[in-house]
Structure 1
Amino acid sequence: MLPAPPRFWLLKSEPHVFGYPDLVRLGREPWNGVRNYQARNYLRAMREGDLCLFYHSNAKPAGVAGVAQVVREAYPDNLQFDPASPSYDPKSTPENPRWSMVDVAPVLAFPAVLPLDTLRALPEWQDSPLIRKGNRLSVLPVTPEQFTAALAAAGVGLPDIPAGRLSRHQRTTSAARQSGR
């Protein structure tokens, strides 16, 4: 039995703190510092191969800058143990960590940021928490329809992802297609 197909997410970051160009430059980076329990639970639900819309928040314009892929599933966020970090949590211990992070890698930079106003106008996004006032979660689930609509609105298609960054599911599915199964 094959694992479930990739799921889709939206990750928010302020571009002056860590933007999509930073992810491209680094090639792979932990998504750490999340200190909201619901957002943490979403991180824990992510699987290798899941795709994420990388959203620049608190920017002009705020919007989606590109696509990233989860390349390592949730593990303890190292910042929670560092007293010098603003993300330090004195109640968290290595034996019982409260906070998690995933590693992500860049997949596709959009030619221009896809503004929040454009997402608001898309029918697929009408039920998204992202477009509701007051939503401050930094990690959100995205439906396949929302993900596809965002790519179409940005005028891009998802490129082939290099084999080294394919999830186990995608490698198995790709191999099955190539062998005619």
Structure 2
Amino acid sequence: MNYWLVKTEPEKYAWTDLTRDGKTTWDGVRNYQARNNLQKMQANDLVLYYHSVSEKAIMGIARVSQEAYPDPSADDPRWVAVTLEPEQPFARPVTLDQIKKDDRLQNIALLRQSRLSVMPLTPEEFDLLLNLGQ
């Protein structure tokens, strides 16, 4: 199993939208590195759902329910999407400030490549963030 973090602006598509809808097509990614990460996602991989810009916090855990397929919002077949489904909300959101202050998370992609919208997590990073949110 692989672990990931995806970023979204809550004003565009929040965790509450995902839980209401029951699933979503994660499309519109137009960065090659983020696209490559989408292509590596496998069914049942776990994904931390991060609200960027206004809230800057991880809100919950989603699961990849469908692996990479052509992005329906793109005319170019190089772009892909995946389908995500909500698994569980965090009992308390994990803020960017908490992540920055935790010495064990200093190498996390969220801090090193802050503009990347789809990024891998190590199992250790995932577990640490999960514990912070429970």
TM-score, length of structure 2 as denominator length:
0.95
CA distance in 1, matches of 2:31, 2:51: 18
Aligned residue in 2 for 1:146: 125
Q: CA contact under 8 A between 1:54 and 1:64: conserved in structure 2? A: yes
Per the TM alignment, residue 129 of structure 1 is displaced from its structure 2 partner at its CA by 2.2
> Which whole-Å deviations, capped at 9, do the CAs of 1:57-88 have from their partners, x for residues lacking one?
0023x11000000000000001003xxxxxxx
Per the TM alignment, residue 128 of structure 1 is displaced from its structure 2 partner at its CA by 1.2
Aligned residue in 2 for 1:161: none
CA distance in 2, matches of 1:139, 1:124: 21
Structure 2 gaps, min length 5:
none
The 4+ residue runs of structure 1 with deviation greater than 4 A are none
Residue 15 of structure 1, aligned match among 3, 10, 23 = 10
Helix, strand or coil for the counterpart of 1:79? coil
Aligned residue in 1 for 2:50: 55
AA of the residue aligned to 1:153: L
Per the TM alignment, residue 125 of structure 1 is displaced from its structure 2 partner at its CA by 1.3
- Aligned pairs, number: 134
**Structure 1 residue 101 corresponds to structure 2 residue 81:** yes
The percentage of counterpart residues that share the same residue type is 42
Larger strand proportion, structure 1 or 2? 2
Helix, strand or coil for the counterpart of 1:108? strand
Q: CA contact under 8 A between 1:56 and 1:64: conserved in structure 2? A: yes
Helix, strand or coil for the counterpart of 1:65? strand
Which structure is larger by alpha-carbon Rg, 1 or 2? 1
1:60-71 map, 5 Å: 60=55, 62-71=56-65
Q: CA contact under 8 A between 2:8 and 2:52: conserved in structure 1? A: yes
Aligned residue in 2 for 1:167: none
Aligned residue in 2 for 1:25: 20
Per the TM alignment, residue 140 of structure 1 is displaced from its structure 2 partner at its CA by 0.4
> RMSD across aligned C-alpha pairs, in angstroms?
1.1
